[in-house]
Amino acid sequence: MIPESFKNDLLNRVDIVDLIERHVRLKKAGANFVACCPFHNEKTPSFTVSPSKQFYHCFGCGAHGNAISFVMEYSGLGYIEAVKDLAESVGMKLPEFERRAGGGAPIAGDEGPDLYDIMKRAADFYREQLKASPAAVEYLKGRGLTGKVAARFGIGYAPPGWQNLQPVFPDYADKALKDCGLVIDGEGGRRYDRFRDRIVFPILNQRGSVIGFGGRVLGEGEPKYLNSPETPLFEKGRELYGLPQARTAIREAGRVVVVEGYMDVVALSQHGIEYAVATLGTATSATHVQKLFRQTDEIVFCFDGDAAGLRAAWHALEVSLPVLADHKAVKFLFLPAEDDPDSYVRARGREAFERLLHEARPLSEFFLAELRGRVDVTTPEGRSRLIHEAKPLLKRVAAPALQLQLLKQVAQASDMTQEDAARLTEIRSAGPARSAYAAPARGPDRGMLALDHRLERELIICILAHPPLAREVPAEIVDDGHPEGRALAALIGFEGIEGLTHAVILEAMRDSEHEALLNRVDGELLERRMEMNVARTEFNAAITALRMRNPNPRIRELEEKDARGRLIGQGLTGQESEEYRQLKAEEAALKQHRMPPSRMV
C-alpha cells in the first residue's frame, strides 16, 4: 500500500525520542530513556525508549514498536493515518498511492478532499434526518433507547430514496464519496446512496472521527445490517464499535466487555454499563485484543451461548494467547441461548448483567473445558490426544506464568507429570536456568535443548542490536521448522536492504507471525544493553555453537558415499577424500573452541 522506501525514509527521518517526548516525560537512564508507561497504569517506570535502535518497549504491559506504532497506539489512529501524521510532522508528504492493486482508489493527498470531513457531514445529515422521522424514532424507542443515548452514539437515520446525499454534497459525482463508501456506482454509471431507509450507527476511530457506518433495517429485512466497506479510513479487523465512548468507563471499571452487536453496546450503555464495545461483524483479532489491553487489564468476551458463540469465543481465546501478559486477564461470559446482551440487560437490568460479568469464566477454565470436550479422557489414547491438541496452543502463550498454569492443568487432565507434559508439548519447564551454550550431548537433556531455540534467539537479538549482521548468517544453519528459525530466515531475507535499521525491521514484521517473538527479544535486548561490539562477539559464538549442534550435512553425505563405496567397490574420489578431511578438521577445531562463559542466560 504505502511504498516500503517511503516508510523506511520516514522511519530514518523521525526521532522516536522527540516524538514520544511530546506526550510523555522521559528520563535518561543510561543509553536509554524511561517513563511511566502511557499505555497502562503504573507507579514505577517500565516503559523504555531506545534512541539508538528507535523503538520503545514496556516491560509491564508489553507495548512495543517503532515510531509508527507509537502514533497508532497513542493517538488511536489507523495505520495509514499514523504514517500520514508522522510524515507531516517531519515535512514529508505521503505520495499518492493505490490502496489495492488494480481499480483501487488513490488516497486523497493534501490537495484532495478530506475524507474525514465528508464522513462527518454525512453523519450530521443522518442525525438531522432522525429527528425528522417519527418512524425511525419510534423504532429506537421501541428498543428501549432514550434520546440521550442515541445522541451519545450519534445514531442517525438514512431516509428512503436513492440520492438523499445529493444536496449534502453538491458535487455528488465526486470520487471521494465513493472512496468513503457512502455511494455505490450502479450499472450504467448511475450513482446512488449506500444507506437507504436504515438506522445508522456511526463508527468512530479512537480520535472520535467518523470512519464508517452500520445501517440497520427498521424491522425485518435483508441484510439486517449493512456496513461501510473497507475504505482508506476504515479497516474492520482493527476497529471496535463504541471504543471512544467507552474509554472513560473502561478505565473506571477496570475492565472492558466485548459484545457482538451495535445494539448490544448501545443497550448496555442505556442501562448504565458504559464499558462495552463490539467487534464489527468480524472475528476478534489480535489487534482488537492488543488495543483493549492498552486500556485495561481485563477483557470479558460476551458471546451468545449457541454453537456459533462458542466458536467465536474459542477464536477469541486463540488470538488472545500470544498477546496475554501475566498481569492481564481474559474471561468469557456465555449468555443463555435465547439472549443477547441487549435482550438480557433490558429484561433483567444492570445488576443482573454485572453479576454475570463477575462470574465470567477465566480463560484457563474455558481452555481446559474445550480441550477435554474434544477427547475422551477416560482412555490413554484420549489423554494423549489432549496433550497433542494442547501443544500448539500452549506454545503460543507469551505470558510465562500463565503458560505454566495451563501446562499444569493439561498435565493433570492427561494424568501425566508436569515434566512429561512439558517435554511433550515442547514447553520449557521452569527448571533452573541454563546456559545457551550448554553442551548438547548428555542424556534426556538433549531433546529439551534441541527444542529450546536459544541459539537462534541469540542470533536474532544480535541482528536486532546490529542489523548488518543479518548478512552474515550462513544459510545452512537456519532451520525453519520452528518460530525462532522462521524469524531468523525472515531477518536474513532483509540482507539486501540498504540502511537496514531496527525500526525498519519492526515495520517489515508488522502483523507477521514474528511480531510477538520480536517483542520479547527486544525486551531482552534492552535488559542486556547489548551494544554493537558485544553483538558481534555474541553473534560469532552463537553461529559456532549452532554449527556444532547441527553438523555440516556434507560430512554425513560424504560418509554415506564412502560406506556405499566400500560395498560396491567405488569409494570417494581423491578430491572428495580431501574435502572430507578438511571438513572433519574444521569440525574438530570448532569443538576445541571454548565458548565464552559470560553468556549464562
Q: Which positions touch Mn ion (CB under 5 A)? A: 263, 340, 342
Among residues 266, 290, 270, the alpha carbon closest in space to that of 278 is found at: 266
**Min dist. Cβ of residue 35 to ligand UTP (A):** 38
* Beta bridge partners of residue 334, listed in sequence order: 303
Give, as one character, the DSSP assignment of residue 259: E
- From the list Mn ion, ligand UTP, none, pick the one residue 225 interacts with, judged by a Cβ distance below 5 to 8 Å according to partner type: ligand UTP
Grid cell 442501562 in the structure block, residue: 271
* Contact call for residue 262 and ligand UTP (CB under 6 A): yes
How far is the C-alpha of 391 from the C-alpha of 372, rounded, in Å?
A: 14
* Contact call for residue 6 and ligand UTP (CB under 6 A): no
Residue nearest to Mn ion (CB): 340
- From the list Mn ion, ligand UTP, none, pick the one residue 262 interacts with, judged by a Cβ distance below 5 to 8 Å according to partner type: ligand UTP
**Min dist. Cβ of residue 261 to Mn ion (A):** 5
**Min dist. Cβ of residue 247 to Mn ion (A):** 24
- From the list Mn ion, ligand UTP, none, pick the one residue 298 interacts with, judged by a Cβ distance below 5 to 8 Å according to partner type: none
Angle at 155 between CA 283 and CA 308, to 5 degrees: 25
* Contact call for residue 224 and ligand UTP (CB under 6 A): yes
Lateral strand order in the sheet of 225-227:
156-158, 198-204, 210-217, 225-227
How far is the C-alpha of 340 from the C-alpha of 108, rounded, in Å?
A: 40
Count of chain residues binding ligand UTP (CB under 6 A): 15
**Min dist. Cβ of residue 227 to Mn ion (A):** 16
- Is the Cβ–Cβ distance between 183 and 193 less than 8 Å? yes
- Give the CA distances from residue 441 to residues 302, 434, 448, 550, 601, in Å, rounded to whole numbers and listed in that order: 50, 14, 11, 12, 19
Q: Which is nearer to ligand UTP, 26 or 199 (CB)?
A: 199
How far is the C-alpha of 174 from the C-alpha of 169, rounded, in Å?
A: 9
* Contact call for residue 281 and ligand UTP (CB under 6 A): yes
Among 73, 179, 235, 260, binds ligand UTP (CB under 6 A): 260
**Min dist. Cβ of residue 308 to ligand UTP (A):** 10
Give, as one character, the DSSP assignment of residue 185: E
Residue nearest to ligand UTP (CB): 261
**Min dist. Cβ of residue 264 to Mn ion (A):** 6
**Min dist. Cβ of residue 173 to ligand UTP (A):** 28
Q: Which is nearer to Mn ion, 235 or 342 (CB)?
A: 342
**Segment interacting with ligand UTP (CB under 6 A) among 262-270, 307-315, 411-419, 558-566:** 262-270
Among 40, 57, 64, 216, binds ligand UTP (CB under 6 A): 216
Q: Which is nearer to Mn ion, 183 or 263 (CB)?
A: 263
**Segment interacting with ligand UTP (CB under 6 A) among 45-53, 223-231, 499-507, 592-600:** 223-231
* Contact call for residue 270 and ligand UTP (CB under 6 A): no
* Contact call for residue 261 and ligand UTP (CB under 6 A): yes
- Is the Cβ–Cβ distance between 278 and 240 less than 8 Å? yes
How far is the C-alpha of 422 from the C-alpha of 404, rounded, in Å?
A: 9
The amino acid sitting at 293 is F
**10 Å Cβ neighbour count for 30?**
9
Angle at 572 between CA 566 and CA 577, to 5 degrees: 125
441: left (phi over 0), alpha (psi -120 to 50) or beta: alpha
Q: Which is nearer to ligand UTP, 62 or 261 (CB)?
A: 261
* Contact call for residue 409 and ligand UTP (CB under 6 A): no
Give, as one character, the DSSP assignment of residue 228: P
- From the list ligand UTP, Mn ion, none, pick the one residue 260 interacts with, judged by a Cβ distance below 5 to 8 Å according to partner type: ligand UTP
Among 103, 219, 223, 496, binds ligand UTP (CB under 6 A): 223
- Give the CA distances from residue 78 to residues 72, 85, 239, in Å, rounded to whole numbers and listed in that order: 6, 10, 9
Phi, psi at 8, each rounded to 5°? -65, -45
Q: Which is nearer to Mn ion, 140 or 500 (CB)?
A: 140
Cis ω before 223 (30° cut-off from 0): yes
- From the list ligand UTP, Mn ion, none, pick the one residue 344 interacts with, judged by a Cβ distance below 5 to 8 Å according to partner type: none
Q: Which is nearer to Mn ion, 63 or 263 (CB)?
A: 263
How far is the C-alpha of 345 from the C-alpha of 427, rounded, in Å?
A: 42
| Site residues, ligand UTP (CB under 6 A) | 214, 216, 223-225, 227, 260-264, 280-281, 340, 342
